[in-house]
Structure formats: C-alpha cells, structure tokens
Structure 1
Amino acid sequence: MTVTSSRVPKVLIVNAYVDPWRSAAPMRLFIPRAMAPYYLAGRLSRDAVDVRVYDEVHHGALLDPKLFAWPDLVVFTGLTAAFDRARQLSAYFRSANPAVGVVIGGPIARALPDLCGEVFDHVLDGDVEAFDDLIEAELGTDCLSAHPVPRFDLAGWSYGLGFVETTRNCNFRCAFCSLTGEGRAYQAYSTEEINQQLDAQGRFMMLMVLDNNFYGNNRSDFERRVAVLGERWRRGDFKGWGALVTGDFFKNPDNLAKVAANGCKALFSGVESLDPEVLKTYNKKHSLSSDPLTLGRLCAEHGILFDYGMMLDFGKQTIEEVDSQIEALLASTETPFPALLSLTIPILGTPHFAEVASAGRLMPNLRLSDLDGQKLVEWPKEPLEEVVAYLSGLLQFRGRKLAITRHAVSHAWSRRQSFDLEQTLISMIGPIARYCAGFRLGNPRQMRQTWSEPRRTFCSMTDPLSVTYRPAQRLDAKYARDFEPLYLTDEDGALTPVAMQTIQQRAYA
C-alpha cells in the first residue's frame, strides 16, 4: 500500500533470525555483523525518511510491541532458514498496524519467490539496488537517496570494527553454497564506490571486508582493490584490515606479501574439511591444499592471523574420523582451531540439497528452520543414535572446554613473535568465547523466551519447535498459519511440493 501521508514515512529494516542454540539474547560478539540492512537503509533519503534497523543477531529477538506498531513499511532480509521467522514477525507487524507494507528480500526471496509472493506484499529478488523501484512506488521519488551510501551510523559501535564490501558474490560454485544456487555473477566495486563506503563510517580501528571472496578471478582487479585499502591504511584511517579468501589465493606466494604490505592483519578461508574426498564431493577442489597448519604458518610469517571454518558430514565421515581430526587439531599448538564448526547444511536451492534429496538422505518431517548447521538433518552412515549422542557432546564441547582453553592460550603464545597485541588477544580469546561461553544476557522479554525454550536434541526428527512458533502476544486467528513451520519433506522423507518446486526452478552449472 502506497504511503501518501504528508508526514515523514517510517521504515524499519529487519534481519530475521532464530538462534539454533535457543537463545533470544543478543550476540554482540558475532563477527561479521549482518550489513545488508545498513546497505538497504542507504537507499533511503536521510531527510525524507525516518529509518531504523533491527538485527535479531546483534540486538536479539524482536519482541517489543511498541516497535511492531511503529513502521509504515517493514523490510525483511535474512538467511534462507529464517523464512519462518520473517513470516512470524510479519504477523506481529500486521496485527499492530493493518496498513503496514511488508517486504521480503535477500536469500529468502530468491529461494522461495512464489511462496514469498503469497505471504508478503512485495518480493525483492535482486541486489540492494532493486529496493529503489519499491521506494519510489511506495514512498515517492523524494524518499530515494540522491547519493546512496550504507547507513553505518545506524549500526552503532561495533567493537572498533568498520565494514566495507569490495565485490559481490563468488566466482566458484561450491555445491553447498547458496550463492551457487542463485547463480549470480561475481562483480567488483569501483574504486570510487569503495571509498564512498569507507567515507560513510566514523572512526574505527580495524576494517572487515565483507566480500564472499575478496581474491576473485581477476588478478589486476584484486591488486587494484588491495591498493585502495592499502592507501587508506597508510593514511591512518584504520590500523589494519581482514578479508575472506578462497584456497586458490594461497597458491601464489606473492599474494600474502602483497596484502601484508598493504595493511592486511587477518584472513579467513573456508577450509571446510580435512578430508580431500569430501571436498571433491562439494566441488571445492580449490581447497584441496588448504591445510590449516601450513596456511597458519604462512600467514604468521607475514604477520597475518589465519582463521577458517570446518564442516562435519556424517553421511561421508565416521565418528572416529571426525573425532580424530578434532583431537589432532587440539594436539597441535601451531594449528589454529576453526572459528566455525558446524554440520554441512543442505541449503534449499543449492546443488547439495538437490543431490541429497535425490539420494533419499534427507530425514522425514524436515523443516526449513532445521537447516541451521547445529542438528542432524541427513541420514548418517553409522547408527543414528550413536551419531546424535556424539554430535550433542561435540557441539556443546562437553569434556573439551579445558582442552580448547589450553589450546587457545598455547597457540597465541606460539605466535607472539609474529602478531601484535590485538592479534594475539583475538587468537587467544576468540576460541574461548566461541566454544566455552554458553550464556548470553538480554532484556527481560528475551530472557523469558530463552528460559522457556525446550531442550535441543541435535536431530531434526526429534528436535522440538522453538517457542517462537507460539505467538508471544494475542493475535487474530487469521495469523495462525504464519506460525506453522515450512516443511521440506513429509513423514516418509519425500520432498514436499515447495521443496520440489525450488529444485525444478533452479538450473545448476
């Protein structure tokens, strides 16, 4: 519904999220923060629109009745598994203000365009620029920003971090990645656009590059972007920067020297698996030589902190194989422990989802919200009860918290000659905060919701629904369907029509 009132329109941009650890409290230390809402906010005129951002990761679960009644237009984004949450929140906003316009964009809209068209008023399946047409149609041309730049000022303080995006998408096609499913081209920002983003934020200490793949497939363009960041670093705009690169980055020894000479202090790479055969099944051959010990040493030689993610796949790995890898990492002082440890997620719309579905490996009564990386959703190669019991202990690090703490301290000490004080503290405190700190504090509403959550089972077949599926306030009966989970398989494990349609709509290279 077009906003025609003479008053300043109010727009709320929400990053929808449900914590797989069943906490409604904020995750202030989660890095990197979701920045898409702030890029969207930058498309709106500062003078003509009153815009706010709410990130359910950084701010915690959205439970404030006053905020539900505030906006004229609410825009949702988030990961694909957050579809149910976005739908729940839309019911709260519509109940508080029947005239509110509800928009969905990002991965959710691209994975489920038809279903989103039935649920939300507007569906944006493009990049942030697609928001412009909707702004003009719903709010008016004067509400468009003449010079759009991210509204980092709305993000508040972020522990001294600044953010920038120098490219979009990725040039690789990993089978489990949502970007592969979307099939969008890898694109680089111009030097002017990068500088505009940097100028849009206040003072900060460290810069985080938000690219899915900072390295890319164009050597000269990579060098151009490194030079842009290096120039700003030498000017004293920040103390250093970090980025995500793919495994092929490390195959050229000049790359580390180049980024280090231009202020790079940290690199993250998706090692994903220590098993070469598993990497091949993911179409991730560029990571076959990504040994975390070797890469950690190489980066340290250039004063760069190395971090990585690791995925577990019990459909391809045994408990013994996984456990031996974890123990080997803990036993190696020089090898950094992974920043992210999760199960492989068969994200809806990806080749991996289509492959496991066609092989009959998806569990029955699988919900879209189950695809959070913290519970078993595929049939394992070993007895289910044994895998679930092991997984429960591993993800909660029962009996391993002391070992991780010792490893973090020992690893930081081993790198003390290569790292500055900030890098040393990050390498030591990071693993302890990720794997040993289990309690988060939120406002009273958030804490009540957290305490009422049922116990997790770490298996999609038995894991109870989150309390978010029960309305937190009295709603009209017409909103009941907005609190029903979206199922991807039925009681026999066969795909539901929604899941089947998504596979048919996607063409994979």
Structure 2
Amino acid sequence: MPLSKKPKVLIVNCYSDNNRGARGNPDFVPQSIAPLALAGVFEPGQVEIRVACEFQQGPMEDLRLLAWPDLLVLTGLNASLDRMKHLCAYAQSLNPSVCVAMGGPLARVLPLHCRQFFDEVLPGDVEDLAPLAADLFGPHVIAPEPGLRHDLAPPGHRVAYAEASRNCNFSCSFCAMTAEGRAYQPHDLGYIRRQLMQLGHKPCVMFLDQNFAGGPRAGLMARLALLREFHDSGQLQGWAALVTSDFFARPEMLEAARISGCIGFFSGVESLDPTQLRGFGKKQNLSGQTLERIERCLGAGMTFHYGLIHDPVTQHVQQLLDEVTAIAATPSITLPSFVSLAIPLLGTPLFQARLREGSLLPGIRLRDMDGRTLLTHSLDDPEQARCLVARMDRGLVGCRAALAHGMGFLRRYAGRMQKYALLSALSPNLAQAFPALGTAARDWHLRASAPMRSHVAGAEALGTLYRPLMPLASRYARYFEPVCVTDGRGALHEDLQADLGAGVQPLTAQSLQAVQFSRPGGARPMARSDVLAGKNQVASPVL
C-alpha cells in the first residue's frame, strides 16, 4: 500500500433480519459495543474508519460503502453468520483486493466452516484484530491503548455503554459463554476510568458485562467506589449493569450500588420453576428467593429487568402461561422484559443434549435460532407450541392486565424510584399493552408485503436479504444459502460435522494459522500481501 494512503477500515455488526426494509432498532437498550471496541484497536490518525450496526440501523445496503474499505471486519451473534456471508460476497465482488475478517462466537464454534468463506477468521477477543491489522498495514496503525471509540457512535442517544469485565463465572447450559469455556476476566480500574472519562455527561451508562458483579468481592467494591466517585462529581448521572442473581442476596451490595448512582439491573431469572432452573444449569437461581430479591432491588429504588425462557422439551405451554399470569397479578415486581424460547446455541451443553436425545427438528437453519422459532419437539401438540411462539410477539400478558399491573406498580414504587428508573421499570408494561411499541414488532410496517411467519424451523421464508442486490459471480451463490444445523432427519448437518462432530476440539488462534489462506472458487492460495496488492483481481461490476 502506498505510504501516502491511509488504510480504509469498515466494521459492521451484522444482524439477521427477515426483510430488507426493516427499520432497525435505534432506541433499543442495550446496543452492541462490538463495532466501537473493534474500532478502538486502531490509532485514529493513521486510518480512515467507519462503523455500522445492522441491528441499530437496519440492513447494510450501501454498495458504495462496501466497495470502499481495504479491510472489512464483520462481527455479530450466532444467527448473523448468513448476513456476514452476504456482506463478504458484496465486498469481495466490488473490491477484489479487500481483506474480509470475521469474528465473534461463530468464529470460535465453527472456525473450519467459516474459513470457507472469509479471508481471516479471528477466534479470540477484540485484541485479535491488532496482529492482523499490523500485518496488513504496519504496526503504526495500532493504538497504544485500545479502548471504545465512543466518538463513532450515532449521536443523540441518552444511554452510553461501557465494559468492566468479560465472560462469566457461571455455566448456564444454554449460554454461548459456556460453549466457549473462557474464564471470567475483570478489567483493571484504569481501563474502566478511561471509558468513563471518554463518555462525558450522559443520563445513564450501561455496562454490557455478562456479569458485572463477578469475581472477588474486593474487585466489585473497587468498581462501585469508582462509579460513586464519578457520580458524586456529577460526571455520571446514573448507571446500570447485568448481574447474576446471587448479587441480590447481599443487601450491602445493593446499598453500595444505590449510593454509587445505580439506576437498575438486568438479571437472568429465566424461570420461577426450580426444575427448569436445574435443567438450565442456573445454580445461582436455586435459592427459591427470586421474588424477594426482585422486591429488594425495587424497594432500594433501582429497577429490575429480566427475561423468561420457555423450553418446549421440558415445560408445557400452560406452565409458562400460568407463570406469566401469576407475575402479572403481582405488582410488587416488574413484568418480564422478554419471553423467549430456549435456544440450543451451537456448542452449548443444551445443544449437545438436544442433539443426543433426538429432540432437534429436521431442517434447522442457523438463522432460525432467534428465540421466536420452534427448534425442538415439544411436550404439547406442535400447533399449540407454535401458537404460543406467535403470541410472544403480540404479548402474553394482554393490554388490560399489563396496564393494571403498571398502575399497581406505580402506587407502590413511585415515591422510591427516580424518573429514569421508574420509566425503565414500566417499559415492559407498555410493550405488553401495545405490541407495536415493542422491538419484536419493529417491521410491522412490512407485514402486508412480507410472508407470514410459520414460527417453525425450516419452514420460514428466507426473505429478501437472501436475494443479492447486484449480479454476482456463480461462486458466490453459496454465500446466499443459509447455514444448515440439522439435516432432514434432525441429525447434525454434514456441513458442521468437522467443527461439531464427536471428538473434534475447538480450534485455537494458533491452530488456525495452519489452515490455508485462500479465496473461494478454487483460486490459488493467496498471501495477505497479494490481497492488498490487488492480485488475481476480476472486473468489478458497475455501481
């Protein structure tokens, strides 16, 4: 690359939407900070960098932008692998010299499969990007102190995001963190302080840790003391975080959080049924005091968000409906922020168990793992289970019950909670009473033209995103085929056998180095320098 030219880097957080016209979720909380963290690897003055988030902004369709970068970095959650393949095909067709790197959970769970489509597969954390970037552009492009690039975030949102730790110290059977098996890793206070300094004055900062309160008690108290320092000085108006249920067993922790400016928490309740909790491996929730812990948090003036998870293999539909009805009749606690199906994510103990016992449906595609699509056989009649999932988008509580619960909640807590905490606590009531306000209904404006959802794996229409925006070479046709998880018998699909078959261990960054660097279509192996030099180029289509 000429020395006078700054490298161009585009980072996209991919999201699997059904329709091209989906509006995105700009007001949803929380948002991903992955693009900002990846951008923080680079020294700002040494590269031209742009970031995009399909979840927040809607599907990426700017072909000129996809033709722009020298390095395209793609990330996203499990169900977004198809979208990563789509954007890779566009970028490589528009600019054959581009290097396309991907990371995230699927880079760790399906490294061999991903290697068939992308130039670089980064199975580690954000910092894995630095050696690749230095190799491509030179070490001068790497920031000496990587951090979150908050200056690249869309302006105007009242909630900012930070990170105090990574991974989790618990092992829930359905969690991607369990599949990856990486140890809990708290950040040092200096890194957290630098993040808060960069944010300026925001009404609320949300920590996107898997467990903000994990690790030694002394480390947690130090984090709370730092937050109190910023709160008392007026630099931080409030903060929120994700914590596990054991945090609420210690009243002194709640008090320390309150005086440090905490607005509220999200915690994984998942179910009020101990049998379900044992099946999910949530030992931290088995004390039987879930309702008391929620009331304790709310009584201290902080909101409490949580979700419920329904596993059709082990729980009847009526059991879930009874649980939701009981919660709606209890205004001393918040309504659930979401109700979802249990997702047997690839590589998790739950996935392995469902695969062994033959509970997975035939024809599952990776994009079906969205929490709104039946993936398994059920205890109930299949149509009854399907109707439950369809109701999840419309709300399981109902307008009248949600509003009545909200009024009771207001009478109990209006004098104890500050404005932002109270509004946050009542947001699930609004979403249940008026489903069009909920994120699950963000593409309702497309319902007239979009095919009706079946809510059954393998039976959903692929949607318009799987139809290319532009003519592509025939070798890219497979980039628009969905990743299949199970075959026609419900067994593991042959495409994933190399990564997930019996006896195969997850690849490490070191073992990936031995995998040949090549472009699809049988072309000769290419060195990274060849990619940036533009060798083996083909004619780009006219935009």
Deviations 1:213-247 (A, max 9, x none): 01113111111111111111111111111111111
In 1, the alpha carbon distance for the partners of 2:18 and 2:370 equals: 6
Change (3 A) 1:426 1:468: same
Match of 2:136 in 1: 138
Residue equivalent to 1:189: 187
Equivalent position SS for 1:315: coil
Q: In the TM superposition, what whole-angstrom CA distance separates every residue of 1:429-468 from its partner, at most 9, and x where no partner exists?
A: 3442477343799xxxx99988653211111142222221
CA pair 477-451 structure 1, distance change in 2 beyond 3 A: farther
- RCO greater where, 1 or 2, for CA within 8 Å and sep 6 or more? 2
Residue number among 149, 153, 156 corresponding to 2:154 in the alignment: 156
The one of 452, 456, 480 equivalent to 1:455 is: 452
Counterparts of 2:297 and 2:445 in 1: how far apart (Å)?
44
Q: Do residues 294 (structure 1) and 292 (structure 2) align?
A: yes
Give the AA of the match of 1:34: S
Pairwise mapping of residues 360-439 of structure 1 onto structure 2 (< 5 A)? 360-397=358-395, 400-433=398-431, 436-438=434-436
Q: How many residues align?
A: 501
CA distance in 2, matches of 1:155, 1:422: 22
1:497 aligns to 2:474 (yes or no): no
| 2:464 is aligned with 1:487 | no
Give the CA deviation at 1:50: 0.7
Kindly indicate whether residue 457 of structure 2 is the aligned counterpart of residue 469 of structure 1.
no
- 8 Å CA contact 1:456–1:463 kept in 2: the answer is yes
2 CA distance for matches of 1:449 and 1:41? Answer: 33
Give the Å deviation of 1:104. 0.3
Distance apart, 1:5 and its partner CA: 6.0
Q: CA deviation at 1:147?
A: 2.6
Deviations 1:361-383 (A, max 9, x none): 00001111111111110110111
The Cα offsets for residues 45-74 of structure 1, whole Å up to 9 and x where unpaired, read as 111101111000111111122212221111
Distance of 2:433 and 2:10 partners within structure 1: 33
**Aligned CA distance change for structure 1 residues 290 and 190 (closer, same or farther; 3 Å):** farther
> Does 2:194 correspond to 1:205?
no
Q: Is the 8 A contact 1:82 1:108 kept in 2?
A: no
Report matched runs for 1:300-339 at 5 Å.
300-339=298-337
Would the aligned equivalents of 1:330 and 1:404 in 2 still touch at CA under 8 Å?
A: yes
Distance in 2, Cα, partners of 1:250 & 1:25 = 37
Identity of aligned residues (%): 36
Counterpart of 1:390 in structure 2: which amino acid? L
Amino acid at match of 1:174: C
Match of 1:66 in 2: 64
RMSD between aligned residues: 2.2
Select 1:227's aligned residue among 213, 217, 225: 225
Please tell me the residue identity of whatever aligns with 1:281: G
**Which residue type is aligned with residue 379 of structure 2?**
K
Question: 1:117-153 deviations in whole A, cap 9, x for unaligned?
Answer: 1210011111111111011011211211123221011
Q: CA deviation at 1:203?
A: 2.4
Per the alignment, residue 257 of structure 2 pairs with 259
For residue 403 of structure 1, report the CA deviation from its aligned partner.
2.8
Structure 2: unaligned runs, 5 residues or longer: 507-543
Q: 1: distance between equivalents of 2:79 and 2:396?
A: 27
Change (3 A) 1:122 1:193: same
Shift of 1:393: 2.2
Normalising to structure 2: TM-score of the pair? Answer: 0.88
Mapping for residues 320-359 of structure 1, pairs under 5 Å: 320-359=318-357
Asked whether the 8 Å contact 2:103–2:122 carries over to 1, the reply is yes
When residues 268 and 81 of structure 1 are mapped into structure 2, their CA distance, relative to the original with a 3 A threshold, is same
Aligned to 2:510: none
Measure how far apart 1:342 and its partner are: 0.7
Q: CA deviation at 1:492?
A: 1.0
Q: SS in structure 2 opposite 1:334? A: coil
**Contact 1:408 1:429 (8 Å CA) reproduced:** no
Q: Tell me which amino acid in the other structure corresponds to 2:73.
A: V
- Residues 276-326 of structure 1: CA distance to partner in whole angstroms, max 9, x if unpaired? 111101111111236553223101222111111111111111121111111
Task: Classify 1:102/1:452 alpha carbon distance in 2 versus 1 (closer, same or farther; 3 Å).
Answer: farther
Q: Is the 8 A contact 1:371 1:377 kept in 2?
A: yes
SS at match of 2:9: strand
* Equivalent residue for 1:98, pick from 74, 93, 96: 96
For 2:270 and 2:212, the matched residues in 1 are separated by 17
CA distance in 1, matches of 2:21, 2:305: 26
1:28 counterpart residue number: 26
Gaps of 5+ in 1: none
**Matched residues in 1 for 2:385 and 2:393: separation?**
12
Specify whether residues 28 and 333 from structure 1 end up closer, same or farther in structure 2 by C-alpha distance, changes over 3 A only. Answer: same
1:177 aligns with 2:175: yes
Per the alignment, in what secondary structure is the counterpart of residue 27 of structure 2? coil
Q: TM-score, normalised by structure 1?
A: 0.93
When residues 402 and 100 of structure 1 are mapped into structure 2, their CA distance, relative to the original with a 3 A threshold, is: farther
Aligned to 2:234, the other structure's residue is in SS state coil
Instruction: Tell me, in whole angstroms, the C-alpha distance in 2 between the residues paired with 1:245 and 1:371.
Output: 24
Decide whether aligned partners of structure 1 residues 440 and 166 sit closer, same or farther in structure 2, where only a CA change above 3 A counts.
Answer: closer
Alpha-carbon distance in structure 2 between the residues aligned to 1:447 and 1:457: 16
Say whether the 8 Å CA contact 1:412–1:427 is kept in structure 2. no
Match of residue 268, structure 2, among 243, 267, 270: 270
